[in-house]
Amino acid sequence: MLCISAAVCTHNGAAVLGKALRSLAAQTLPAEQFEVLVIDNASTDSTKAIVEEAAMRQPSVRYIFEAKLGLSQARNTAARAVRSPFIAYLDDDAQAEPQWLETLLEAFETLRPAPACVGGLVSLDWTGSAPPAWLPKKFEALYSGLDLGSEGHFLTSPDEYLIGANMAFRVTALLANGGFDQNLGRKGSRLISGEESALLNRFRANGLPLYYAPAAAVSHFVHPRRRNPKWLVSRVYWDGASQPHIDYGRTKSRRFYALQAGRDIKRLLQISGELLAAFLRPDRVKSAETALSLVQRWGRLRTHLALIALGGE
């Protein structure tokens, strides 16, 4: 009997997809208790051939082509296609530990209150090297790493969150809460994000329990193209641009967004002063953190100005 489904959404990820699928083939959960869905999100590479090869070794692997570009679109397609009560999302550039699915399923079936969402540890795979010296530790989370400690627990603080690279849901709860916002999330090379946080905020607002299970662990590969300051600057900018959509979306008046834009401008001036002070010390770590905070705030201002132009509600 199918108990849980693993979903891997991919866009031109043929170079890394095979490792993700092999990690799912090595799960400790009996093979007849789970299926693997690969949602090919408008890929133009050899993704389909890789999935077909995996399906020859593991008959429970299913291939679904989703022509509309967007990670949120692909994730929602997976949620509607599963044949089990739970869905666990794994990034195409991540590898699940052998006990991943077994741990997630146990959490859903045994914990009380019954969680609507369960996530676990996400370690960053720098392929034998340490994180770059120029990367401020506070921004490592933008590479999709997560460590909330060695003890499993329900998330009670709004500062605690789960990561889409390792996130599982009760399917009925996911669909009843609208799934992933298709205005947010990656679309090809566009780095806008926030769809996971927005969804979990809706869960919290509706009183649905969220649980962190560290033993449900995955490792997340950091691609070489992401190991340079240029990528991080872009990622930080789009993280800032995503934040207003997560906080309140297009639900306020033009006046409200104008006030927020004014606060952004005031904060940009403050951060600029902090950046100058860090340069004059000099403090390389503080300078890097402050410069990235400046970029992030510019992204936030960009979205507020766009929402003003759209007229609010």
CATH code: domain of residue 79: 3.90.550.10
The sign of the dihedral angle between the CA atoms of 238, 239, 244, 248 is positive
- pLDDT at position 278, please? 82
Q: Which residue has the tokens 């052998």?
A: 98
Which tops the pLDDT comparison, 229 or 218?
218
Domain boundary among 189, 207, 227: 227
On whether both 145 and 168 belong to a single domain, the answer is yes
- pLDDT at position 190, please? 63
Q: What's the pLDDT band for 311 if we cut at 50, 70, 90?
A: confident
- pLDDT at position 64, please? 97
- pLDDT at position 249, please? 62
On whether both 214 and 258 belong to a single domain, the answer is no
Q: How many CA atoms lie within 13 A of 135 on its CB side?
A: 18
As for how many domains the chain has, the answer is 2
- pLDDT at position 158, please? 83
Is residue 8's pLDDT more than 80? yes
Q: What's the pLDDT band for 231 if we cut at 50, 70, 90?
A: confident
For residue 283, give its domain range: 230-310
Q: Whole-model pTM?
A: 0.85
146 and 220 Cβ atoms separated by less than 8 Å: no
On whether both 241 and 113 belong to a single domain, the answer is no
Q: What's the pLDDT band for 225 if we cut at 50, 70, 90?
A: confident
Mean pLDDT value across the chain: 90
Share of the chain above pLDDT 90, in %: 63
Q: How much is the average pLDDT of 271-280?
A: 88
Residues 6 or more apart in contact with residue 277 via CB below 8 angstroms: none
On whether both 223 and 240 belong to a single domain, the answer is no
- pLDDT at position 42, please? 93
Domain boundary among 203, 227, 251: 227
On whether both 115 and 244 belong to a single domain, the answer is no
- pLDDT at position 223, please? 83
On whether both 78 and 45 belong to a single domain, the answer is yes
On whether both 146 and 51 belong to a single domain, the answer is yes
On whether both 186 and 133 belong to a single domain, the answer is yes
On whether both 220 and 238 belong to a single domain, the answer is no
